[in-house]
Structure 1
Amino acid sequence: MSVRARIIGTGSYLPDKILTNAALSQTVDTSDSWIRSRTGIAQRHIAADGQYTSDLAFKAARAALARAQVDAAEVDLIVLATTTPDNTFPSTAVKVQAMLGMQRGAAFDVQAVCSGFIYALSVADNFIRAGQAKTVLVIGAETFSRILDWEDRATCVLFGDGAGAVVLRGETTDGSHARPPGILSTHLHSDGRFANLLYVDGGASSTQSVGHVRMSGREVFRHAVVNLAAVVVEALHANGLDQSDIDWIVPHQANKRILDGTARKLGVAPDRVVVTVDKHANTSAASVPLALDEAVRDGRIKEGDLVLMEAMGGGLTWGAALVRW
């Protein structure tokens, strides 16, 4: 007998305001064709004034709980991935906990930038495997627009705001099911030697200010294609599987060229890759759960499918999670 964490509900939320490439080109030296050709992005969602990361996270969490048919009172733990918390402290997770009306369990944030959701999913999976939680809410939420330099066309065109969430439930498996659903494994990596390739030039300890995103795009692209392909192979080998077993790859939505390059390196057909970067841009820790929720709701991801989620972000951090739906 063993316990496996199964995803029983997904949810997402995008702010109402849509900023198109054409609109962005009115304020920064860029164009729709320039952005599309280099990134695949057509638009991004931007949080309204007074709308915080916790607000986005709460709406995505509420949607995931509703689809899972789980009451917030049943949740033992919230793990929230974000790089753009409401405050330095308390954590955004405890604010969402209060908004959901939860008065039990625990809640905390995880910070691994664009890899954040994979990191948070791994933490939740291990809590369930260890028997310390049965029902866990995992959220990726960002108001990344708040840390952009809107005069830097190399970065401001890439990012957007949003939130996605999943509900995990620990289920006992006795070996009678040939392919039981749930998280098969998670794989996390980081290499701090490359922290200066993608970072924010501010912080409480260093500048006492929030700062803005700075990125060496070409170097990040090179590391992304190599590291993401490697961690996908690692996850498959850990479970005695190969690329042909994958039904869907749900990647971090950073850049269409990175998605295409990773798929080519793995020999995976493009139509098996869930792509939302054109509509959402890069929403950092929110991008994987946003894409996952879309593919679940539109029926692409079905019961029994093998789903591979992967991401890379500042740090550098990267990781993957292999899930049987």
Structure 2
Amino acid sequence: MKPFRLNKHGKLVFPSSIFIELDFSIITDLNQLKAIIRRDFEVKAPTGTEIAERAAAGGYATRYDLLRDIGLHLFWANRYALVMYDKQPMRWRDVPRNRDDVFVPLLQPLEGREARSAGIRDAYAQLPAKWNGVAEDELFDMLFDCFSTKLYLAASIPPIKATIAEALATAGARTTTLGNYNPDHYHYSIDDILDVSEEQAELEALRRWAMVLHNQQPWDRSQARLKPLAEMQDDDIVVLYYPKDRHVLDFINREKSDTTVAKQAPTPDSGVEPVRPYPPLVIGDDAPIQPKIEALAIRKGEVICSNEDVVRNSPPSWSPMSAEEIADKTGIERRRYTAEPLENIALEAARAAMKHAGRGPEEIGAVLFCSCTSSRLIPSTATWLSGQLGIMQTHCSADIVAACAGFPYGVAESVRLLREIERPVLLVMAEKFSDKIGNARPSRMIFGDGAAAMVIAPSDGERDIHVVQTYASGPFSQVNSIIWPNHDFDNDITVYGPEVKALVKRYLNQMMGELSELGLKVDMIVPHQANKKMIIELAKPQGIDAKDIYFNITEIGNVSAASIPIALADAVLDGTISKRSLVFAPAFGAGAVGGYVILSLDSSMVAPEVTTAPAMSPSPTKAHSSIEDIKEAFHT
């Protein structure tokens, strides 16, 4: 998991976007590593020659534009060191000669370095500042010092460095010596980097880049030289590379011994349409059980993450995008995060819903939990919630993974269970994306955290749930359009936009056709809050006007399974729905799942919003799992 933090200025920071790491336990071979490095470091980074030529041709509009390119180039130049190795200067006499876990980079000299650097320095001086001249000059000093003293040809560096024995056996091999090395040369601490604060979000991100890059060579770089290993003297200081962890070393050893086993992805079968359409479940007046919504409670994340926060945490793998551009692309200006564990916010929403419904634990017949971000497998979150709520036994407590269609899936299963048990069902929907996003930019722009809970009870009177429909599957590319964990992105959650748009269009066409056949006149459409711009664009050909669609995504982000119930509650709490209304709630998302619910909503159902003060160091509710508790439970 990759949690956020608040720094000493109260600003939101994402350490995983600043301190770039890769989990080598999930990288299968060198080809996969090179593809990751190419995508995250190489594609967007100019070479030093390209920067110099662009600067000489007047290709930079502002100082910031030049600074950003220098930063991208330096990350690329340090691409393998950043993710694979820790550096340790050492006197040559003390360097172990026969260890297989100590490495040294063999480097080729960079020709024309001084002239290229001088041209870039002169070009920078002629450019205007973009936001803050003083800050940009400070950043130039930091970045240019790293750039102008880079001695080696960056394009030639391999991912796997030579051992000392291999280096000594390589004719003409050169590596870096540090001259008069000072082990107390300034090095930025983690807190120094996290606590950076700039008025302009882009400059804050760039300053963190500069500090991370400085830490790659925390010595007097002006005294560094490339020296042949054959000419090394005992007192020469060389820079040794140590693998960051055992997974990196294991990866290196597997590649060197050629023992990597390639994993073969299965070939999907051709898609085949079902023999006949799946009709929606229509609950008529003659149904023996009429589903009644007794309560709807929500718990949003307590920490606001603005688009400016996203920008100020930009890693070098992202293309530049301003806060305004994020809002224009997604319809999102802020999303909510929580420092609490996922199950804790789910529990808060569940308790609020039960209280609002006036139901005690002895009355609840089933607990359903819908989420695609739960890391709790044993016990399931639904059973954990049942225990926390004091429910001694249910007919069913189970988790449902239906991603963004969690709401229709959960309601559909609740309705089925009502017929079996004729007792209230507690339906809980919650997501925590904030610690699973990492450096995936589309995911960081879109997803948020939050929870909602409903009590759905049997009634022989007026019903609140009228129609339920669920779908799943489709073309292989759509099924895999949203992936978590994605091994190619360091287990982060990833979104492939064109395929998501295709599945939303496919399902929306199907839903609107079914809605037309049902002949129901709805008062409001409250869709899954996926992407405001995309939904409006796809709804227009269906004859749906944007004014008839309710959105709260601007302030909340996409909370997947919890997005529709949170939006339903917000529509009541902000006065958009002030009387009993017939609502069409369509959903679609990861796994090519979809569905909709047609329900009646009124203000009496909605509990006061669960609120809490920001808690950056939560104390999770502990399950009884100590040795003493286990002994007591099993009478040992």
**Alignment TM-score > 0.5, same fold:** yes
Distance in 1 (alpha carbons) for counterparts of 2:416 and 2:380: 21
The CA distance in 1 between the partners of 2:512 and 2:362, in whole Å, is 35
Give, in angstroms, the shift of residue 302 of structure 1.
Answer: 5.0
**Contact 2:364–2:425 under 8 Å retained in 1:** yes
| 2:407 partner SS | helix
Is 1:191 aligned to residue 473 of structure 2? yes
Q: Which has the larger radius of gyration?
A: 2
* Separation in 2, partners of 1:87, 1:227: 30
Question: Displacement of 1:309 after TM fit?
Answer: 1.1
- Alpha-carbon distance in structure 2 between the residues aligned to 1:88 and 1:163: 18
1:58-102: per-residue Cα shift (whole Å, max 9, x none)?
111122222222223321111110011141222111111122221
Letter in 1 for 2:551: V
Is 1:103 aligned with 2:392?
yes
C-alpha distance in 2, partners of 1:72/1:96? 11
Letter in 2 for 1:77: A
In structure 2, distance between residues paired with 1:72 and 1:265:
47
**8 Å Cα contact 2:587-2:596 kept in structure 1:** yes
Q: Which of 521, 546, 549 matches 1:273?
A: 549
CA distance, structure 1, for counterparts of residue 593 and residue 578 of structure 2: 29
Shift of 1:235: 4.1
CA distance in 2, matches of 1:232, 1:210: 38
Give secondary structure in 1 for the equivalent of 2:313.
coil
Report the alpha carbon displacement of residue 126 of structure 1 after superposing the two structures with TM.
1.3
User: What secondary structure, in the 3-state scheme, does the structure 1 residue paired with 2:392 have?
Assistant: coil
Shift, 1:223, TM fit: 2.1
CA pair 100-210 structure 1, distance change in 2 beyond 3 A: farther
2:324 to 20, 23, 33: 33
Residue equivalent to 2:352: 63
Q: How does 1:1-325 map to 2 (within 5 A)?
A: 1=286, 2-28=288-314, 29-48=320-339, 51-105=340-394, 106-128=396-418, 130-149=419-438, 151-173=439-461, 180-192=462-474, 193=476, 194-202=478-486, 211-237=491-517, 239-241=518-520, 245-302=521-578, 304-325=580-601
Displacement, 1:147?
Answer: 1.8
Aligned length: 306
- In 2, Cα distance between the equivalents of 1:236 and 1:268? 12
- Shift in Å at residue 125 of structure 1? 1.0
Contact in 2 for aligned 1:164/1:293 (Cα 8 Å): no
User: Aligned AA for 2:506?
Assistant: V
Distance 1:37 1:65, change over 3 A: same
Alpha-carbon displacement from aligned partner over 1:120-139 (angstroms, at most 9, x marks no partner): 111001111x2324201111
Q: Which letter does structure 2 place at the counterpart of 1:316? A: A
**Cα distance in 1 for residues equivalent to 2:302 and 2:402:** 26
Change in Cα spacing, 1:135 to 1:210, as seen in structure 2 (3 Å) is: farther
State how far apart, in whole Å, the 1-side matches of 2:498 and 2:485 are: 19
Over 3 Å counting, the alpha-carbon distance change for 1:9 and 1:232 in structure 2 is farther
The structure that is strand-richer by fraction is: 1
Distance in 1 (CA, whole Å) between partners of 2:522 and 2:347 is 31
The alpha-carbon distance between structure 1 residues 224 and 157, as it changes in their structure 2 partners (threshold 3 A), is same
- Relative to structure 1, the CA distance from residue 280 to residue 89 in structure 2 (aligned partners, 3 Å threshold; closer, same or farther) is same
* Aligned-residue identity in percent: 28
Alpha-carbon distance, 1:263 to partner: 3.4
Give the conservation status (yes or no) of the 8 Å contact 1:198–1:215.
Answer: yes
With the length of structure 1 as denominator, give the TM-score of the two structures. Answer: 0.87
User: Hey, what's the Cα distance between the residues in 1 that align with 2:584 and 2:466?
Assistant: 10
Partner letter of residue 22 of structure 1?
E
For the Cα contact (< 8 Å) 1:11–1:63, is it kept in 2? yes
SS at match of 2:511: helix
Which one-letter code corresponds to 1:60 in the other structure? Answer: A
What stretches of structure 2 of length at least 5 have no aligned partner? 1-285, 315-319, 602-636
TM-score under structure 2 normalisation? 0.46
Q: What SS class does the counterpart of residue 184 from structure 1 fall into?
A: strand
Give the aligned partner of residue 176 of structure 1.
none
- Determine if contact 2:586/2:594 at 8 Å carries over to the other structure: yes
The structure-2 alpha-carbon separation of the partners of 1:47 and 1:118, relative to structure 1 and needing over 3 Å to count, comes to same
Deviation for aligned residue 1:233: 3.3
- 8 A Cα contact 2:297 2:452, kept in partner: yes
Tell me, in whole angstroms, the C-alpha distance in 2 between the residues paired with 1:313 and 1:17.
25
Stretch deviating more after TM superposition (293-302 or 57-66): 293-302
User: C-alpha separation between the residues in 2 aligned to 1:210 and 1:170?
Assistant: 46
- Whichever residue aligns with residue 168 of structure 1, its letter is I
Between 1:222-231 and 1:103-112, the stretch displaced more is 222-231
Contact 1:235 1:321 in 2 (8 A): no
Once structures 1 and 2 are overlaid, which stretch shifts more, 263-272 or 286-295?
263-272
Would the aligned equivalents of 1:229 and 1:262 in 2 still touch at CA under 8 Å?
A: no
AA aligned opposite 2:437: L
2: CA distance between counterparts of 1:11 and 1:135? Answer: 15
Within 1, Cα distance between the matches of 2:481 and 2:449?
22
